[in-house]
Amino acid sequence: MRFLHVADLHLDSPLRGLERYEGAPVAAIRGATRRALERLVDLALAEPVDAVLIAGDVYDGDWRDYSTGLFLAAQLARLRAAGVPVVLISGNHDAASVIARSLPLPANVRVLSVEQPETMLLEDIGLAVHGQGFATRAVAHDLSAAYPAPVPGALNVGLLHTSADGRVGHAAYAPCTLAGLTRLGYDYWALGHVHAREVVSSDPWVVFPGNLQGRHVKETGPKGATLVTVHGGRITSVEHRALDVLRWLRVGVDATAADHPDDVLELAAQALTAALGEADGRPLAVRVEAHGATPAHARLLARPEALLQALRARATDLGGGAIWIERLRVRTTPPGRPARDAADASIATLLDGVRRARRDDTAVRDLAGQLADLRGRLPIELTTGEDALDLGAPEVLLRLLADAEALVVDRVLGTAEDAA
């Protein structure tokens, strides 16, 4: 017996952060979450599996129109035609209170209650699926605490949308603990909500399959579903199957040995070629991050737009239109030697000001205090998440001052080569 465990389909969720440009694989993102669901059904039929379990967040939120629901129904009907049962629960994104419209789903689909835990016993394949969906967007208590005892003689699976004992970047919904899940005596916990794949435990199996299709640069790497094989009433294998149609990656480029931005572009091109080779023909959405103490630092910062477009042109060339450069981040530092700044007294004065500010703790703290008020007025994308710009933090200001210094040196002393 085999079943597929999937979660967080977020059907029709937009992919974020991809600025359109000539040569970018625009078609790849159109309907990416739908194409990934088609691949899931393709896999279920090809294996074939005996059941598909969906651990919440089928939808991204309320539908804009009925086509989202119709698309899901059509895909699940392909499974019905093959006699494959589907058990699903709602998550925080598709809680009963969030989804205003509804459509009848095919007869092979069982949506478990949001009022209390329910068990779906698939006797012919010896599978008992226990679960409860989200009635509202925020479920603060441990739903699993009320799940029923295992069904004797069946393989018991708990279907649960949860943040477990807390995961970075995920709201704390229906929290639970590994000890609490283990106590129930099930064979497998089919979890959802956390978008990064994670095997929390293998005895019993407690698995977050991750979402089906990455949607932005914080959802990187292979995305897909978990295929579980059962022999003689015991789980014999748990494998990840990649089903994403566009893959997000962060590619780091060590610019230490680069003398010129062109060298960094060359290193980036090599890294992108390698990444493309590992993606099984999928288009990639990539954030390139240059780091390291490098003589190219000032020039890397000098013309960010030109550098980004040069990288895009390079990527389009080598990827045959399969690489989307989401962003280029320059996180390099100057090499450990003094910059060539002595020539001009006015430049020296300017640089002196910047450097004094960098050395003067009080000045930096004062500046941080003044800028902290700005935070409330900045767009939320700039002030939250991993890449948040915290103008109230002295260490951030010191980094920006260092970048400003490098920029001044390069702009003012710009070489004849750059001017040509």
Count of chain residues binding Mn ion (CB under 5 A): 2
In the complex, what is the shortest distance from the CB of residue 87 to Mn ion, in angstroms, rounded to a whole number? Answer: 18
Q: Which stretch binds Mn ion (CB under 5 A): 6-14, 70-78, 129-137, 241-249?
A: 6-14
Sign of CA dihedral 115, 113, 91, 98: negative
Q: Which two tokens mark 324?
A: 């989307």
Q: Smallest gap, in angstroms, from Cβ of residue 121 to Mn ion?
A: 27
Strands of the 205-208 sheet, one edge to the other = 118-122, 127-131, 155-161, 188-192, 205-208, 198-202
Site residues for Mn ion, 58-77, by CB under 5 A, read none
CB of 142 to Mn ion, least distance (A): 19
* Subset of 327-386 contacting Mn ion (CB under 5 A): none
**Which pairs with CB-CB distance under 8 Å and at least 24 residues apart come from 143-152?**
143/117, 143/174, 143/176, 144/174, 144/176, 144/180, 144/181, 144/184, 145/176, 145/180, 146/116, 146/117, 147/117, 147/184, 148/117, 148/119, 149/184, 149/185, 150/184, 150/185, 150/186, 150/187, 151/119, 151/121
Minimum distance of Mn ion from residue 195's CB (angstroms)? 6
User: For Mn ion, which stretch binds (CB under 5 A), given 3-11, 12-20, 284-292, 395-403?
Assistant: 3-11
- Count CA atoms closer than 13 A to 28's CA, side-chain side: 22
Instruction: Mark 34-57 as b/e (b = at least 16 C-beta within 10 Å).
Output: bbbbbbbbebbeeeebbbbbbbbb
Q: Closer to Mn ion at the Cβ: 8 or 50?
A: 8
- The most distant pair of C-alpha atoms in the chain lies apart, rounded to whole Å, by 86
Pairing of strands 247-254, 284-293: parallel
Q: Which of these ranges, 56-64, 97-105, 150-158, 308-316, lies near Mn ion under the rule CB under 5 A?
A: 56-64
User: What distance in Å separates the CA atoms of residue 324 and residue 341, rounded to the nearest whole number?
Assistant: 38
- Residue from 57, 60, 403, 405 touching Mn ion (CB under 5 A): that is 57
CB nearer Mn ion, residue 50 or residue 57:
57
- What token pair was written down for 415? 């070489």
Q: Which stretch binds Mn ion (CB under 5 A): 21-29, 51-59, 264-272, 405-413?
A: 51-59
State which residue has the least CB distance to Mn ion.
57
Q: How near is the Cβ of 57 to Mn ion at its closest, in Å?
A: 4
- Measured from the CB atom, the residue of 170 and 250 that comes closer to Mn ion is 170
Q: How many helices (H) and strands (E) does the chain have?
A: 12, 15
Is 8 or 403 the residue whose CB approaches Mn ion more closely?
Answer: 8
Stretch 173-192 residues interacting with Mn ion (CB under 5 A): none
User: Please, what is the minimum distance in Å from the beta carbon of residue 226 to Mn ion?
Assistant: 15
H/E segment holding residue 228: strand 224-231
Piece of 7-15, 27-35, 294-302, 391-399 that binds Mn ion (CB under 5 A):
7-15
Choice from 8, 187, 244, 403 touching Mn ion (CB under 5 A): 8
**Nearest distance, CB of residue 118 and Mn ion, angstroms:** 21
Least distance in Å: CB of 319 to Mn ion?
A: 29
Q: Encoding tokens for residue 119? A: 């068990």
Q: Does 244 bind Mn ion (CB under 5 A)?
A: no
Determine the interface stretch with Mn ion among 55-63, 75-83, 239-247, 379-387 (rule: CB under 5 A): 55-63
For residue 342, the minimal CB distance to Mn ion (Å) is: 56
Bond before 283 cis per omega within 30 degrees: no
Q: At what angle do helices 345-359 and 394-413 cross, to 10 degrees?
A: 170
Closer to Mn ion by Cβ: residue 8 or 405: 8
Q: Which is nearer to Mn ion, 14 or 369 (CB)?
A: 14
For 320, counting Cβ atoms within 10 Å of its Cβ (0-12 exposed, 13-18 middle, 19+ buried), the class is: exposed
* Segment lying near Mn ion (by CB under 5 A), choices 57-65, 202-210, 214-222, 364-372: 57-65
Give the binding site for Mn ion (CB under 5 A). Answer: 8, 57
